[in-house]
Amino acid sequence: MPELRVNGGAYEVDAPVGTSLAEALREELGLTGTKIACNEGHCGACTVLVDGLPKLSCITLVHQLDGAEVTTIEALRDHPMVASFVRADALQCGFCTPGQIVSAVALVESSPEPTSEEIRHRMAGNICRCGAYPKIEEAIRTWRD
């Protein structure tokens, strides 16, 4: 049984080989903040951090993690990026939002004051069908306000 290290805790998960990280988080650990929207690595809704880097959890297999530390939206609830998204109205239906926020947190970790160009480049893997993009850009530009 693989051990999964998530948000500072360690869990034994009963997951057959081939189980995706997204599925294990949602079905085994009950961490449903990570959303699955395409389940094949095209939309970014399932983004989590693995050892601090953004990863698509729907195409990451549990058995490949090898002790890496996974951070999900549940551990970022009090991150200023969350408040910034709400303040800027950077979400509409909100289904893609946890993934957007995880990607945005990863972005500002490496580049605390990203330029517009950086934001548009680094966030292009997170689709928002409601089209909240202008406000997402604003939320990331003003995340420390």
Partner 1 sequence: MARLIRTEKEVEGRYEEVWLVVEEDALEQWPDGPLKIVGRGAPRVDGLERARGEARYTADVRLPGMLHTAVLRSPHAHARVKRIDVSRALELPGVRAAIGPGDIEQLTGEPGYQGAAVAAVCADTLAQARTAVAAIDVEWEELEVVVDPDDAVRRGQVHDKRERSRGDYERGLAEADVVVEGTYRTQTVLHNSMETHQSVAAWEGDTLNVYISTQFIWGVREEIASELELPQDRVRVVCEYMGGGFGSKNDPGDYTFIAIELSKRTGRPVRCALTRREENMAAGNRNSTVQRLTVGAKSDGTLTALGGEFVNALGWSGWNASTEGPMQMLYACANVKTTTWGAKVNTPPMKAFRAPGFVEGTFGLECLMDELAAKLDLDPLELRRRNYASNDATDDRPFSSKNLMECYRRAEPHWARRDEVRARSTETVKRGVGMASQIWYGGGGPPSYAWTRVGSDGRVTVVTAMQDIGTGSRTAMAQIAAEELGVPLDWVTVSLGDSARGPYASISAGSSTIPSMGPAVRAAAADAKRQVVEIAAQRFDKETRTLDVKNGSVICSDGGKWPLEDVVGLLEDAQILGKGARGPNPTGMQVLTFGVQVAEVAVDVETGEIWVERVAAIHDVGRVINALGAESQVEGGIIQGIGHTLSEQRLVDPETGTILTRTLDAYRMPTIADAPEIVSELLDIPDAHLTNLGSKGLGEPPIVPVAAAIANAIRDATGADVRSLPISREEMLRALREARERERRGAPAAV
Which segment (1-9, 37-45, 49-57, 61-69) binds partner 1 by CB under 8 A? 37-45
Q: Would you say the C-alpha torsion 22, 23, 27, 29 has a positive or negative sign?
A: negative
Which one of residues 49, 82, 105, 107 is an interface residue with partner 1 (CB under 8 A)?
A: 82
**Residue 66 and residue 88: Cα distance in Å, rounded?**
38
Could you say whether residue 38 binds partner 1 (CB under 8 A)? yes
Could you say whether residue 74 binds partner 1 (CB under 8 A)? yes
Could you tell me how many residues of this chain bind partner 1 (CB under 8 A)? 51
Residue 135 Cα distances to 47, 58, 73, 89, 93, angstroms: 19, 26, 19, 6, 14
Could you say whether residue 49 binds partner 1 (CB under 8 A)? no
Q: Which residues pair with 48 in a beta bridge?
A: 55
Q: How far is the CB of 10 from partner 1 (least distance, A)?
A: 21
Q: Cβ distance 125 to 44 under 8 Å? A: yes
Could you say whether residue 101 binds partner 1 (CB under 8 A)? yes
Which segment (6-14, 24-32, 61-69, 105-113) binds partner 1 by CB under 8 A? 24-32
Q: Cβ distance 139 to 90 under 8 Å? A: yes
Q: State whether residue 93 is helix, strand or coil.
A: coil
Binding site for partner 1 (CB under 8 A): 16, 26, 30, 32-40, 42-43, 45, 72-74, 77, 82, 85-87, 89, 91-98, 101, 119-121, 123-137
